[in-house]
Each structure stands twice: as structure tokens, then as C-alpha cells.
Amino acid sequence: MATGYQGKILRVDLSTGRIWCEHPDDNFYRKYLGGWGFVAYYLLKELKPGIDAFDPSNRLIFAPGVYTGTQLSGSGRSAIGAKSPLTGGFGEGDVGGFFAVELVRAGYDALIVEGKAEKPVYLWIEDDHVELRDATHLWGRSTVETEEVLKKELGNEQVRFAEIGRAGENLVVNACIMQDLHHAAGRTGMGAVMGSKKLKAVAVRGSGKKAIHDQAKIRQVQQWLLDGGKERYQGLQDHGTDGGLTGLSQDGGLPTRNFQLGDFEEAEKITGKTMTDTILKDRGTCYACVVRCKRVVEVKEGKYQTDPVFGGPEYETVGSLGSNCGVGDLEAIAKGNAICNAEGLDTIGGGMMISFAMECFEHGLISEKDTGGLKLNFGNAEAMVKLLEMTCAREGIGDLLAQGYQACIDQWGPAAKKFAIEVKGQPLPMHEPRYKFGLGLGYAISPTGADHVHNIHDTAFTTEVGMGSVQAFGILEPLPANDLSPAKVRLMKYYTDFSLLKNMLGMCLFLPYDPNEMVEIIQAVTGWDTSLFELMKGAERGMAMARAFNAREGFRAKDDYLPDRFFDPFPSGPRKGVSHKRHEFRAALDTYYQMSGWDREIGAPTRAKYQELGLDWVAADLERYGAVAA
């Protein structure tokens, strides 16, 4: 067994109570790597096509990677996946923190949960000791209450948790899985899958550590991050991911009022520096990370009092609950973030459903009769906070918002569809496609629906300064952010695969490694004589398997789209008149398909492409369902 892996996959069947381990061979680890790769492999191997996401046979997969737990900055990340109740397809959420490291220290490369418990349970993992325990007394409790009770019950303050709140219990399709109160696996509704299984929490404590092939190399990288690498992440440490919000608004790229606009007149009130100067109490971090980009805020007085135990809002949260709802009250945003973390609701999805309802309200599609008396105008901070609570509890209009866009459209009429800013049912994150054209293409092709993590952010590659991260791929010249030429499609494909590779390795995207430095680190961890070519093929394999899963579930090329809104020009602001052009977008999408070896009708790799990636078994499986083309 290569170093860097533990050699064990922990399996739990909640229906029968059976707990066991599997021991994959070395080739499995080298081929599928971890994270997204493990998720895609097990969903394809073990799920019957067409099952409901809440069927007990759905797998909930907690998957670290080879980088996870290496003592290097950014090594606290992992993936959590299942069939998604939000999209009906491949579901996966990324998360940092400490939980995945503790799972590795306990001796496991992944945890796979299937079945459904008769009553609420939690899973207790302490090295080789694994047991299911009653969680009836925890059901209905917030994440902070759950952790407080379990730490006392287990007699250990050092236990790490993955848990759900009421949003997951109530099967809210945007529910997330929280880890240690303020780290969220936020996208695609993984919290709802966990709730459907009656699994309230996973508690883990490990006494082992990850074996490293070349510890001297790892110490060298650690020192470089502390010294020479600091200038690359100092801004994140100072003001967090929200530090650039004002500049983004001034440049016309800040999602505002349900993506109607790209600039927000109250941006200065909600930016990271304002947070630092007003409500910031501390800076949080993930395992072993020197970046410390996490915010910890406190509001002691007023109607939006907020406990620092829930951390603080990141950029995505400030955008989704702030500018995109027209809200310029930072304390209200902090309160909304605390509600989401307490109840396990994705701040992006929760906020986007509210901005959708606000636009429908302002266009007269719904009224105060539908909202329970709430005036859902953009800028109503009190309504934003209240709707988050109602969504988690599934009360009043919150019950519709909890079910996603289509349920609302069915109730409010087809005119509401144009205000649903989504891809494959997943609400867009806080990055504007009319500001970053390649990003928009990335939204369309993403197997999980609109996602900003396994995607390109075009503005990073408009000058020579940002090209160091892609020169190893043979991409040497910068391109404008609004370019969608074949050259941009090539850049977008390579960089998207590179981002996905980081996910599969368990590596944070904020780390300042170039591709070759990353290869050296993986060589040091595993002892493999690996290469950038091999690792990038691993990422391409992960994408291919996710697209294969969707193809088997009935997704086709027609499901790769951008909402109509982004083909309409900005009506005002710094980028007035700018929009995507349909013929350019279609041409870029077709170019991406051809570069990737994807069939133009099915929207997934051809048989030959699966074979080129060593996925003959996937092609053979899809053959049975008419979901693979020659």
C-alpha cells in the first residue's frame, strides 16, 4: 500500500446495523485518488439507475483525499457525495475543517453510509471501535446543541463532527452537512440525504496519523508556505474571502438583486474590510492551515445578535444573503449565516431561493397573501432572515422554498421560471457569467449544476501575472474575461480539470501551488513516480464518471445550459450592455464537447473516450441503458 492512504474504506448499513471495512488495492487508489473520484466510483458501481435520492439504497459518501491530513496548509478538505435530491443527478459538496482529518487518523480513507435507520441515530467512530447510537434526543436540535450534548455524552472535547440541523431533518433540498459548526458541505442537498437516512451526526476521534513517504519534503513545503508563500494569501488572512467585494461591485461583477445587476450601491457596507472594522471577533481556520481565511463575528446588541460559535459569513454568503437580496445590513447577513449554520442550510441555495421569491414578489407573481404578510421587496433584511428560518422549518412559504425552484414555479405559474437562476436545478453561486464568460460555460457543463469550485474564474488569467498556474499545461498567453474563443475553451477545460484534481486530492483551492509543485507534493506523500499527465488524467476520469452517472439518470446535452438572464444585457452599471451571445455560447459548448470526447446528444464521453481513460467498465454499464455512443 502506498503511503498517504490508510487502506480501509468504512461501510455502514443503517437498515441492518451492519458495520464492516473494505480494503481496496493500490491500483484503486492511484486510479480514483479520493474525494469526487471515490464518490463517482461508488455511485456508479452500487446505485440502480432511477432510484429516488431519498431511497435508503442511496449512498452517502464521505471521501477525503491523499493530501488530506498531511500537516500541510489546506489539507482539511474532503468531498461528500450522493445522488442529489436537488438535481436528481450526481451530487457532491466540498468542505474544509477538521472532520476529514480525524476520519483519516481513525484509519479510514472514506466512509460510505447506506440504508435508513428506524429512528434517529448517530455514528461514533473511535479508531477501530465503530458503533451506531440512539439520537432520538438530538433530533430537532441545532448543530451547536448537538455537539454540546455529544461531547458530554462521549466524554471527549476533541471529537470532530459531521451533522445536520433541522434543514436536513426536514429534507430541504438545499440542506447541507455541517462540520464543527461553521464548515459546510453546502451544495447539492447532501444534508437532506443524511436526514432521509435518519443519521443525525457522525462523531469521530482518531489516534493514528497519516504515513508520509518523504517527510523532509513536506517540512520544506510547510516552511515555504510560512515564509515565501505568505504574500500570496495575506489578503485572505486580513479580510477573508469577502475582501474583494467592493472592487467586484465597482467592476460590475457582483451578483445583485437576483443577478439583475452587477453592482450594488451598498457594497461598502458589507465588504470584508467593513466586517474586519466592525463585527469581526477572530479569524478561524481549517486543519493545519496558515491562511486563516475564516471569519468569526459577534453581534452583541440589537435585533440581529449573533454568537461567534457559528463563525462568520464568507463571500458566497455575503453575496447570496446580501447584495443578491439587495440587503446592505452586515449584521443581518451575519444573523442569516448563523441561522444557516445552526440549522444546516446552504447559504448560497437558501439565499438564492429568497432572491428568486423577492423578484417574483416585485413582479406581482406572488403577494403578501402568499408570503404570510411578508413584504418580499429587495432590501428587506428582516424578511431575508425570517425566510431562512421558515425554510429550515418548512413553514408557510418556506415550505415551497425548501423544495426548490420547480415546486415554486408549479405553484406561482410558468412566468416565474425566468426568475429561477439555476443550472440543472442548482442555484448559481455568487459569480456573474456576464463578467466571466468561461465561468458561464463551466456552469453549463458541471455535472452537479452551477458550481464555482470546479470551474475557471476568467479574471485570474487576463494578465501575465496569473499565467503561472497554467503554463505547465502549455497555456502561455492571457485572454480577456469576456473571451469565449476556442483558446478560452481550452484554458477553461484544463483549469476545470485542475480544480477537480485538487478536490480529488483533498487540497484547498486557495493554496499557491503551481501544477508541478503539486505533483512534487503528491510524490512526497505517496512515493509514487507520478506525473502531471497521470494526475490530470485522474481528474478527467472523475469528470467522465460524474457525466456517466448523469447520463444513466437520463441527463442529456440539452441539460447543459445557462439561464436566459445571462443572454440579456446588463441594463445599467459598469458593464451596461454586456451579455453572452447565444451563437457564441453554443459554439463554445460544442468545442468543449469535442475537446473532451463527449457525444453531442448524450452529453457524456463516447465509448472510445471511456476506454482511453481506462473506464471500460463504465462504457459496458452504460451500454445496457442506451447511454453511451460510439
Express each pLDDT in 56-93 by its tens digit. 999 999 999 999 999 899 999 999 999 999 999 999 99
The number of helices, as runs of H, and strands, as runs of E, in the chain is 25, 16
Q: Is the pLDDT of residue 290 over 90?
A: no
Are residues 189 and 311 located together in one domain of the fold?
no
Are residues 120 and 235 located together in one domain of the fold?
no
Q: What is the pLDDT of residues 367-410, one digit of tens each?
A: 999 999 999 999 999 999 999 999 999 999 999 999 999 999 99
Q: What is the pLDDT of residues 16-42, one digit of tens each?
A: 999 999 999 999 999 999 999 999 999
Are residues 23 and 151 located together in one domain of the fold?
yes
Q: Is the pLDDT of residue 628 over 70?
A: yes
Task: Read off the pLDDT of each residue in 190-196 and give the average, rounded to a whole number.
Answer: 98
From the CB of residue 368, how many other CB atoms can be counted at a distance below 10 Å? 11
Cell numbers for 143: 448543530
Q: What is the pLDDT of residues 453-464, one digit of tens each?
A: 999 999 999 999
Rounded Cα distance between 248 and 163, Å, is 34
Give just the sign of the alpha carbon dihedral 417, 420, 422, 427.
Answer: negative
Q: Is the pLDDT of residue 303 over 90?
A: yes
Among 453, 110, 507, CA closest to 286: 507
Which CATH number do you get for residue 313? 1.10.569.10
Task: Read off the pLDDT of each residue in 251-271 and give the average, rounded to a whole number.
Answer: 98
Cell numbers for 502: 485538487
Rounded Cα distance between 581 and 427, Å, is 21
Give the pLDDT confidence score for residue 234 in this predicted structure: 78
Q: What is the pLDDT of residues 77-133, one digit of tens each?
A: 999 999 999 999 999 999 999 999 999 999 999 999 999 999 999 999 999 999 999
Q: Is the pLDDT of residue 250 over 80?
A: yes
Give the pLDDT confidence score for residue 224 in this predicted structure: 87
Are residues 332 and 377 located together in one domain of the fold?
yes
In a domain, 429, yes or no: no
In a domain, 284, yes or no: yes
β-bridge mates for residue 201, sequence order: 122, 163
Q: How many domains does the chain have?
A: 3
Give just the sign of the alpha carbon dihedral 79, 85, 87, 89.
Answer: positive
Are residues 339 and 448 located together in one domain of the fold?
no
Are residues 323 and 469 located together in one domain of the fold?
no
**Domain end point (choices 355, 390, 420):** 420
Task: Read off the pLDDT of each residue in 486-492 and give the average, rounded to a whole number.
Answer: 98
Per-residue buried b or exposed e for 411-422, using 16+ beta carbons within 10 Å of the residue's own CB? ebeeebeebbbb
Share of the chain above pLDDT 70, in %: 99
**Domain end point (choices 368, 390, 420):** 420
Are residues 107 and 163 located together in one domain of the fold?
yes
* Residues in contact with 626: Cβ distance below 8 Å, sequence separation at least 6, in sequence order: none
Task: Read off the pLDDT of each residue in 557-578 and give the average, rounded to a whole number.
Answer: 98
Q: How large is the angle between the packed helices 486-505 and 532-552, nearest 10 degrees?
A: 90
Query: In this structure, are residues 421 and 161 in contact, taking their beta carbons and an 8 Å threshold?
Result: no
In a domain, 261, yes or no: yes
Which CATH number do you get for residue 514? 1.10.599.10
Rounded Cα distance between 29 and 7, Å, is 9
Are residues 492 and 527 located together in one domain of the fold?
yes
Domain that holds residue 161: 9-205
Are residues 518 and 407 located together in one domain of the fold?
no
Q: What is the pLDDT of residues 422-460, one digit of tens each?
A: 999 999 999 999 999 999 999 999 999 999 999 999 999
Q: What is the pLDDT of residues 599-616, one digit of tens each?
A: 999 999 999 999 999 999
Q: Is the pLDDT of residue 412 over 90?
A: yes
In a domain, 315, yes or no: yes
Cell numbers for 119: 429512528
From the CB of residue 447, how many other CB atoms can be counted at a distance below 10 Å? 31
Q: What is the pLDDT of residues 197-239, one digit of tens each?
A: 999 999 999 999 999 999 999 999 988 888 876 677 777 888 8
Rounded Cα distance between 197 and 378, Å, is 37
Are residues 342 and 479 located together in one domain of the fold?
no
Are residues 98 and 130 located together in one domain of the fold?
yes
In a domain, 216, yes or no: no
In a domain, 628, yes or no: no
Cell numbers for 378: 429587495
Q: What is the mean pLDDT of the chain?
A: 96
Among 458, 451, 461, 435, CA closest to 546: 451
Rounded Cα distance between 89 and 77, Å, is 23
Are residues 591 and 452 located together in one domain of the fold?
yes
Task: Read off the pLDDT of each residue in 238-246 and give the average, rounded to a whole number.
Answer: 92
- Which has the higher per-residue pLDDT, 15 or 288? 15
Give the pLDDT confidence score for residue 229 in this predicted structure: 67
Task: Read off the pLDDT of each residue in 552-562 and give the average, rounded to a whole number.
Answer: 98
pLDDT-based confidence at residue 488 (cuts at 50, 70, 90): very high
In a domain, 220, yes or no: no
Query: In this structure, are residues 338 and 310 in contact, taking their beta carbons and an 8 Å threshold?
Result: yes
Which CATH number do you get for residue 156? 3.60.9.10
Give the pLDDT confidence score for residue 380 in this predicted structure: 98
